[in-house]
Structure 1
């Protein structure tokens, strides 16, 4: 099986290659490419692979732009560190995706799905990718949240939230003036409800707003340590698996 990996985060690319070799003894990784421009150049000079594992967010844009530039007939498994809701269409249209950090069992399931598609000679309609791209651009995100305040209810504006964090099995939002409110949502749900241009999940416990970030420091084990405003009173670390995506998010 000839495979092409399109991934701009080297540790993630290495993990994908390691896991896919563990799952398939006959795999041949043709190349590891880290940008849209390099991918377009590679396809112009090489025969198409049987399978592509493709990150959605690359250093020079969204990988959907590759499909706008050239025709691709290979099967594609997408990878992403972003929310699952926006790419739900892939689940029902014979193409799969993996949420970072890549799980070995999920990769196995995706490869099994690929094998089944090949045996059925099923083809994927890539117009779905264009529809998905439009959905990502036009999607409506939550503007307000109803919250309890003492014995009454009030609401907070999504734009005023500086970060959401999990604590003692609950999820709280801290707003600009430092007040903390309990939310009736999980962090996974908040990833889907909040605009990813403004909010980013840096680890399992925190989703933060870009305006909360005061300073960024290198930290042990290839992680980043953040200073936030208002201060949360505990260390804020970007997990190693999300560092490159966080940098891309900051730099967009």
Structure 2
């Protein structure tokens, strides 16, 4: 595996090199670069490496300028002292986001993630066309929920639902008009019933609609803080293990 390191702090770059080679003795550090300019020149002229470890704030600007000037086709692990760039990082080939000061375990986890992604795509085979067409024709999820309230039954359209949440062992529906209802289904059952493209399970308590998401902010310990267009009873946090899949889900609209 050919790896390049883009890092403007020489001591950090050397430490990163030692950790990588200690974890992957068969890897080769093909080069170390400190600036946007030198990185663009190398990636434009030479063969693309198998992996890049990249700092975000370089000597002559933010590393995201590199992606505007050259097509990077390999995975990138971002290593930075700042956590406000995680969303932008995952939009630019990011497979992990490691905060400085990083540890050997942080780099080991990043390399493991790269290997798992590589194995996944190597093992993928083309689907059966008939099976694919049947899946495309299949329903995309429930379109409404039956509600019993005030001794009456009524239906609530899924399009009107901002999020589902669990409170006191009951599953609740919160609509965009702030009307709330309880349903006799667990959040796991609801998650399996609705469209995975429309709703995302943020954590054990919340399943949210894409339409309800107002903004997402990086949070402590590589978590994400999700704000909705209407107020929620709890602060919505996505843990670091699920943050990548959540950002990917938001990107693939």
**TM-score for the superposition, normalised by structure 1:** 0.51
Is 2:145 the partner of 1:145? yes
**Which residue of the partner structure matches residue 22 of structure 1?**
none
- RCO comparison, higher one (Cα < 8 Å, 6+): 1
Contact 1:219/1:225, CA 8 A, preserved across alignment: yes
Kindly tell me the number of residue pairs found equivalent between the two proteins. 149
Q: Shift in Å at residue 240 of structure 1?
A: 2.0
Residues 75-94 of structure 1 mapped to structure 2, 5 A cutoff:
none
Matches of 1:65 and 1:198, distance apart in 2: 28
Runs of 4+ in structure 1 off by over 6 angstroms are none
* Aligned pair partner of 2:125 in 51, 60, 67: 67
Check the 8 A contact 1:224/1:239 in 2, yes or no: yes
Structure 1: stretches of 5+ with no match in the other structure: 1-6, 19-30, 40-51, 55-62, 69-125
Alignment correspondent of 2:225:
225
In structure 2, the CA distance between the partners of 1:135 and 1:153, relative to structure 1 (3 Å rule), is same
- 1:32 is paired with a residue whose SS is helix
Provide the secondary structure at the position in 1 that maps to 2:125: helix
Distance 1:142 1:210 in 2: 16
Q: How does 1:3-152 map to 2 (within 5 A)?
A: 9-10=95-96, 14=109, 32=115, 34=117, 52=119, 54=120, 66-68=124-126, 127=128, 133-140=132-139, 141-152=141-152
Structure 2 Cα separation of the partners of residues 183 and 64 of structure 1: 43
Distance 1:242 1:228, change over 3 A: same
Give the CA deviation at 1:225. 0.7
Residue 214 of structure 1 aligns to a residue in which SS? strand
Write out aligned runs for 1:162-173 (5 A): 162-173=162-173
Two-structure CA RMSD over aligned residues (Å): 3.1
Cα deviation for residue 134 of structure 1 reads 4.2
Shift in Å, 1:138: 2.9
Asked whether the equivalents of residues 64 and 133 of structure 1 are also in contact (C-alpha less than 8 Å), the reply is no
Measured in 1, the distance between the counterparts of 2:150 and 2:191 equals 27
Deviation at 1:139, TM superposition (A): 2.7
Tell me whether 1:155 sits opposite 2:177 in the alignment: no
For residue 235 of structure 1, report the CA deviation from its aligned partner: 0.6
Alpha-carbon shift at residue 9 of structure 1 (Å): 4.8
Distance change >3 Å, CA 179–CA 134, structure 1 → 2: same
TM-score, normalised to structure 2, is: 0.51
Alignment match, 1:105? none
Change (3 A) 1:133 1:151: same
